[in-house]
Amino acid sequence: MIDKEGLTEYYSSFDINWFLTNEEGFIVCFASSGGMIPKLVLKYYDDLEVIERYLFSLPSVSKTIFNPFFEEIYLGQSKKVIENIKRESSFWSNRGLVFFDKSLVNYPDNSDYHLLSYPENPILFYSLPIDIQRRLNKIRVSYSFGQNLTVDLSKIMDM
């Protein structure tokens, strides 16, 4: 895992996954793609490795539903790049997580994330082990992702 100091200083050089939960109990994975990491996530960065390791170890429990505009989001990207992004997106949604990514890689001032996929059967916050709940609860937002295909994180979190 990248050390917190290096990530804070050189965030545009890294693509990390980070997670949050909301009041509805959904677990959301964001791929940073060299973009800014919210201050709240950096504050609890030490918890991120434990959260990711746990979520990564979950079995596939759900069918993935892809954003119908998935390929349009990555217009101009090679087929191989799109397949790789789809594979990562599917990996997380198969485990019950909603997955967002940036289409503008290494644009630190852009805080727009696009919904790429979501699970047919999501896992919810309250079904997770207490230790993971405690860690994720630190990165909770009062925002309903609902049917939003694009989220400007600067509107819901301090960047």
Q: Which residues contact 141 (CB under 8 A, 6 or more apart)?
A: 20, 21, 22, 23, 156, 157
Domain tally, the chain:
1
In a domain, 149, yes or no: yes
In a domain, 87, yes or no: yes
In a domain, 159, yes or no: no
Count Cβ neighbours within 10 Å for each residue of 24-51 and write b for 16 or more, e otherwise: ebbbbbbbbbbbbbbebbeeebebbeeb
DSSP state of 21: E
Residue 55: band (very low, low, confident or very high) from pLDDT cuts 50, 70, 90:
very high
In a domain, 37, yes or no: yes
| Mean pLDDT of all residues belonging to the chain | 83
Alpha-carbon distances of 50 from 26, 29, 44, 90, 146, rounded to whole Å? 18, 14, 11, 21, 27
Give the integer Cα–Cα distance in Å for 73 and 21.
Answer: 24
- The model carries a pTM of 0.84
In a domain, 110, yes or no: yes
Per-residue pLDDT reduced to its tens digit, 57-66: 999 999 999 9
Per-residue pLDDT reduced to its tens digit, 4-42: 454 455 444 456 788 999 989 999 999 877 677 788 888
**Residue 70 pLDDT:** 87
In a domain, 99, yes or no: yes
Q: Whole domain around residue 50: which residue ranges?
A: 4-154
Element (H, E) at 98: strand 98-101
